[in-house]
Amino acid sequence: MTKSIQIPQHIAIIMDGNGRWAEKRFLPRIAGHRQGAKNVRMVVQACRRLGVDYLTLFAFSTENWKRPRKEVDALLKLLIGFLADEMPEMLTNGIRFNVIGDLDMFPARVRSALIEGMERTAHLKDMVLTLALSYGGRDEIVRAVRHLVEKVQEGALPLEEIDESVLADFLDTRNMPDPDLLIRTSGEQRISNFLLWQLAYSEIFFTEVTWPEFDEQQFQRALEEYGRRQRRFGLTQAQILAGNDGGGR
Ligand code: FPP
């Protein structure tokens, strides 16, 4: 993969189409997730190589709990296996492992494996790999607002000080920049409750290709398309050319 293109600082991905990939091949859905997990490895390695600072993957939504028990269990197993398998690579390559979402929803053994993964890599600084797990954008905002109201009620946060940056500090993504690029595979053109607040100004790349088939070449296409987009953040082109960055958003 070439490095001559503009590299986003933060890439977020909705990895969709594992089930369809498997069903098309008369395989069980979990075979699609397994293939998808292999692709997670590919994209993590590619991002690390290219110098992407943050990669955030939608791996399990708040709605995914409603899937058949067998599929949920298999997904959790895959997740824990992935974390164990990838830990040596993450440690060698300076990748900090992070989770956003409602960790309280997970069985204790899954939760402790995730927490251990975060603790073991907490000192690493070359890239942050975030998995969104039991994650929903609305749920995240509700949790943030509850926490924020608690602070106001305790008298620790004056109401008039609440602005966008204060609210952002209560989100799971505090200390992370907003995604520059969102990729969604498998033909659906919606955000599906992913990073609702954070995607406000992100470029979005949709592709028909399913996640298990999304290879390095497809990834390169997404980056090239991103390189062609002009991000204006609500400003005019003249303002951009004059170097006004719109307050950094
Ligand atoms: C969407 O495909 C994908 C998911 C719900 C889970 C994503 C999980 C992985 C890529 C594998 C495990 C992840 C890690 C980090 C190891 P879908 O099942 O909704 O596909 P469909 O829309 O075709 O049914």
Nearest to 195, CA basis, from 11, 1, 65, 25: 11
One digit per residue, the tens of pLDDT, for the chain of length 249 reads: 544 678 999 999 999 999 999 999 999 999 999 999 999 999 999 999 999 999 999 999 999 999 999 999 999 999 999 999 999 999 999 999 999 999 999 999 999 999 999 999 999 999 999 999 999 999 999 999 999 999 999 999 999 999 999 999 999 999 999 999 999 999 999 999 999 999 999 999 999 999 999 999 999 999 999 999 877 778 887 877 787 655 544
Return the CATH fold of 10-135+179-232: Undecaprenyl pyrophosphate synthetase (3.40.1180)
The active-site residue out of 64, 93, 102, 193 is 64
- Confirm whether 244 is a catalytic residue: no
Number of CB atoms found within 10 A of residue 66's CB: 8
Strands 54-61 and 10-14: parallel
Q: Which atom of ligand 1 is nearest to the CA of 34?
A: 11
Euclidean distance between CA atoms 246 and 146, whole angstroms: 30
Choose which residue among 13, 16, 129 to substitute to test ligand 1 binding: the one with the highest number of ligand atoms within 8 A of its C-beta. 16
As a whole number of Å, the CA-based R_g of the chain is 19
Amino acid at position 108, single letter: A
Strand order across the 54-61 sheet: 95-100, 127-135, 54-61, 10-14, 181-184, 203-206
Which residues form the pocket of ligand 1, taking CB atoms under 6 Å from any ligand atom?
A: 15-20, 33, 36-37, 40, 57, 59, 64, 78-79, 82, 131, 211
* Residues paired with 10 in a beta bridge: 54
Ligand 1 centroid–CA 32 distance in Å is 8
Look up residue 8 and give its DSSP letter.
P
Instruction: Provide the residue type at 46 as one letter.
Output: A
The domain spans of the chain are 10-135+179-232
Whether 39 is catalytic: no
Identify the pLDDT of residue 4.
Answer: 62
Question: What angle do helix axes 216-228 and 29-50 make, rounded to 10 degrees?
Answer: 50
Side-chain-facing half-sphere of 167: CA atoms under 13 Å: 13
Nearest atom within ligand 1 for CA of residue 20: 23
Confirm if 51 and 7 have CB atoms less than 8 A apart: yes
Which residue has a Cα nearest atom 22 of ligand 1? Answer: 17
